[in-house]
Amino acid sequence: MPQSPGIKTRICMISDTHTFSPNPPQQTNNPYRYPLPNADVLLHAGDLTKVGYHIEHKETVAMLKAAPAELKLVIAGNHDLTLDEDHFTTFGYFRHRRPERLGGQDTYLEDDEKPKPLLQSIRSPNTPPLEDMKSYCKLAKDLYTNESAYAAGIRYLEEGTHSFTLSTGAKLTVYASPYQPEFCNWAFGYNRSEDRFNPPSPGSDNPAPQNPVPSFPAVDIMLTHGPPAHILDLVPPDRHVGCEHLLHAAERARPRVYLFGHIHEGWGAIRGVWNEGAENGIKQEVVRSDMEDMLERRGAYYDVSGESRRPLRVGEETLFVNASICTVGYEPRNAPWVVDLDLPGV
């Protein structure tokens, strides 16, 4: 048996829960049900809500607090409008003035007493006061960053690199970003021509991005809402919608795991071998999942630790995971991914 090069760590991965908490335990025909699988770390890759109402964020934070993990790392996604203040105060607030049609259901919610006056102001016929909109956004972010959330292990990540140490002594460095190529004027969007993840090429006049992805071996995990191009990013009829710049950044960083969501129909995992001669620079192997096992264990389990039959070759391979819980029809029916891997010790 190969000797483990680090500390074996279990990571539970979810994304695109859109306010849906896990289904009741007795609903055994659905792998996304209470309780979530036990893990050292829980990762959530965004789209925490449907459209970012305060009451939606409250429900999501309650779900995260209940999750059985020491550390819970969370980013926003394009549906989390009130976590992108710049977007919400210029356009996003319009979505709170009318029902949003998602998965055959209208989302038009009322909030509890504290944020209700702010929401009423936002829904007024005139342009709402900027300070009211900012206050509503602040209430949302505070739910993920207050003392109660911190005590429950929740860490809300802005774009950039973040490091954590677990009680086991394992050290985890994560690059996080809630952004994805702009479409339909949702939150956290950027133009496809913009490269916000890679340093400019030598001699280029392009400005350096504020938060580029570090090169190998600085990052253990990449956590972005949108997928890299050509990996679990296919939408009908046959179109890849991931970001080319993210794929280039992943090739530089070569993280152990790269988690994302956004494309609901892309749920799954790919074991990627970095190879310049392969298509798009990476040889892709689909990680098989067994429905009966997922239903029984409430997750899709995959072991790439030093104790497994095929330990991950750090720097040569990356495990890509699209952990979208919701289907295209916004039904919470997909399994969380549960991955065992080795992390460096302190």
User: 2 falls in which pLDDT band (50, 70, 90)?
Assistant: very low
User: 238 falls in which pLDDT band (50, 70, 90)?
Assistant: confident
pTM score of the predicted model: 0.96
Phi and psi for 120 in degrees, rounded to 5? -65, -40
Is residue 16 over pLDDT 50? yes
Give how far Cα 48 sits from Cα of 5, 279, 286, Å. Answer: 34, 33, 27
Which domains does the chain possess?
Answer: 7-343 (3.60.21.10)
CA end-to-end span of the chain: 24
Render pLDDT for 51-88 as a digit per residue (tens, 0 to 9). 999 999 999 999 999 999 999 999 999 999 999 999 99
- Per DSSP, 92 falls in state G
Segment 22-28 long-range contacts (CB within 8 Å, at least 24 positions apart): 22/63, 22/298, 22/332, 23/332, 28/295
Judge whether 80 and 48 are in contact, CB under 8 Å: yes
pLDDT at position 106, please?
A: 87
Query: Virtual CA dihedral for 168, 339, 329, 73, nearest 10 degrees?
Result: 20
pLDDT at position 1, please?
A: 38
Which segments of the chain are extended strands (E)? 7-14, 39-44, 69-74, 100-102, 105-107, 154-156, 160-165, 171-177, 180-181, 189-190, 221-224, 234-235, 239-240, 257-260, 268-274, 282-286, 300-303, 317-322, 337-343
User: 202 falls in which pLDDT band (50, 70, 90)?
Assistant: confident
pLDDT at position 173, please?
A: 98
Is residue 5 over pLDDT 80? no
Alpha helices in 254-300 (DSSP H): 291-297
Q: pLDDT averaged over the chain?
A: 95
pLDDT at position 108, please?
A: 85
In three-state form (DSSP H/G/I as H, E/B as E, the rest C), the secondary structure along 97-128 is CCCEEECCEEECCCCCCCCHHHHHHHCCCCCC
The alpha-carbon radius of gyration of the chain (Å, integer) is 20
**238 vs 90, more confident:** 90
Nearest partner of 13 among 325, 345, 344, 333, judged by Cα: 325
Range 8-27 average pLDDT: 97
pLDDT at position 68, please?
A: 98
Is residue 123 over pLDDT 80? yes
Q: How far apart are CA 149 and CA 72, in angstroms?
A: 10
| pLDDT > 70: percent of the chain | 99
Q: How far apart are CA 189 and CA 181, in angstroms?
A: 5
